[in-house]
Structure 1
Amino acid sequence: MTTSPPQFLLHPSVNAPGEGIWFATPAGFTDLPLEALVAPLGAPEAKTSAEALSYLLASAPDEMIRQRFIAQLATAQRMFHALQAEGTVHCSLGLHRDDTGDGDGGALLSLFTITWVGIARSPRGATAARAVATAERHTHVEYAELPCGPATFSETVRTATGESGLPQDPLLQIHAHLPHPDGASLALLTLSTTAVAHREHYRAFLRHIANLVSFESPFGPVSEDEGSRRT
């Protein structure tokens, strides 16, 4: 018996002008509209975001929960503004169930980001090594050759300062440093979570994402006649 090759429907964004990086995230990650979340008042993106949030606020069961959500949203917006100022171009929220043997079945949250970092021109292997050689408090450092080129992985555990207004829980951040072929920039992939005890699982998540990264479109140009369907 023969089986037809699988058909995949690609999102139109794969052929849209982007940030020079292609990637995929595992199940459980949802893209966050970064531009809308940090848009100034009066901008079309801010209006769209406000309309979506108004329905969410209206669904709150009582005023106390509504006010708590507004406060949490304000904290998140401060964080997103800080991320964008540092060159972050993508955010995804990860939501997974803790189904490990010693887990309680609750929800595990994480945040995946991609940030462009300007660098001095040098060979890509040297850039990948230098990215962690001068970094403070980075542990579990590993060099790897990925399909997109050389990379280094590292980890940090940080706690926000009281002045930041952010939660004081220890935050595990797993990093992948991927030098771009242009020699002048580096893509920093970071997976952050307060579920520090599950670091092995989040290491696997980030390694999976990094292995799928490409700095050239893996699909090639798509004509209007072809649409977005590929085999």
Structure 2
Amino acid sequence: MPLFSLFTVSWRDTGVAPRGVTAARAVTSTGGHARIEFAELPCGPATFSETVSAPTPGSGLPRQPLLQLHAHLPHPDGRRLAVLTLTTTAPGRRDEYRAILRLIAESVDFDNPLGDASGGA
């Protein structure tokens, strides 16, 4: 049977707050998050968590549980939150997938690689 995995990056607008507070709110504002961990990464504070769900009937996905591992990384501007999600049909491999997500999150950098968008360096 094939192993299905998906990695997504999304942005969420947040209320202005200290970055650590924003990271904590990300895992406490909605239910279902488990194995919650707070970490200081090179890009700043972050929370890691996981949720388990089942695909909806008719989605075309196998009727296996889906493990979703989340990394919540508040942007330095205090108004946005980057959410990295790694989803898999192999919940028995949660530790390996969690390690992969942690390595990805540790590589996040919020600096603009193109420099100042207004034309400056």
The interval holding the TM-score normalised by the smaller chain is 0.7 to 0.9
RMSD (Å) for aligned C-alpha atoms = 1.7
Cα shift at 1:136 = 1.0
Secondary structure in 1 matching 2:4: strand
Once residues 169 and 152 of structure 1 are traced to their aligned partners in structure 2, the CA distance between those partners, rounded to angstroms, is: 26
- 1:173 aligns with 68
Cα shift at 1:165 = 2.2
Classify 1:134/1:191 alpha carbon distance in 2 versus 1 (closer, same or farther; 3 Å): same
- 2:86 aligns with 191
The residue identity in structure 2 corresponding to 1:113 is T
Once residues 54 and 79 of structure 2 are traced to their aligned partners in structure 1, the CA distance between those partners, rounded to angstroms, is: 31
Secondary structure in 2 matching 1:129: helix
Q: What per-residue deviation string (whole Å, max 9, x for no partner) do you get for residues 94-153 of structure 1?
A: xxxxxxxxxxxx863311110001111111010001111122111000000000000000
- 1:123 aligns with 18
Q: What per-residue deviation string (whole Å, max 9, x for no partner) do you get for residues 6-33 of structure 1?
A: xxxxxxxxxxxxxxxxxxxxxxxxxxxx
Secondary structure in 2 matching 1:182: coil
Once residues 98 and 30 of structure 2 are traced to their aligned partners in structure 1, the CA distance between those partners, rounded to angstroms, is: 19
| TM-score, reference length from structure 2 | 0.87
- Larger Rg belongs to: 1
Unmatched tracts of structure 1, length 5 or more: 1-105, 222-231
Once residues 60 and 20 of structure 2 are traced to their aligned partners in structure 1, the CA distance between those partners, rounded to angstroms, is: 35
The residue identity in structure 1 corresponding to 2:14 is I
- 1:155 aligns with 50
The percentage of counterpart residues that share the same residue type is: 55
Q: How many residues align?
A: 114
Unmatched tracts of structure 2, length 5 or more: 116-121
| TM-score, reference length from structure 1 | 0.47
- 2:33 aligns with 138
Once residues 7 and 56 of structure 2 are traced to their aligned partners in structure 1, the CA distance between those partners, rounded to angstroms, is: 21
Map 1:93-112 → 2, pairs under 5 A: 108-112=3-7
Secondary structure in 1 matching 2:99: helix
The residue identity in structure 2 corresponding to 1:177 is H
Matched, 1:201 2:96: yes
Secondary structure in 2 matching 1:208: helix
Once residues 75 and 60 of structure 2 are traced to their aligned partners in structure 1, the CA distance between those partners, rounded to angstroms, is: 32
Cα shift at 1:169 = 1.6
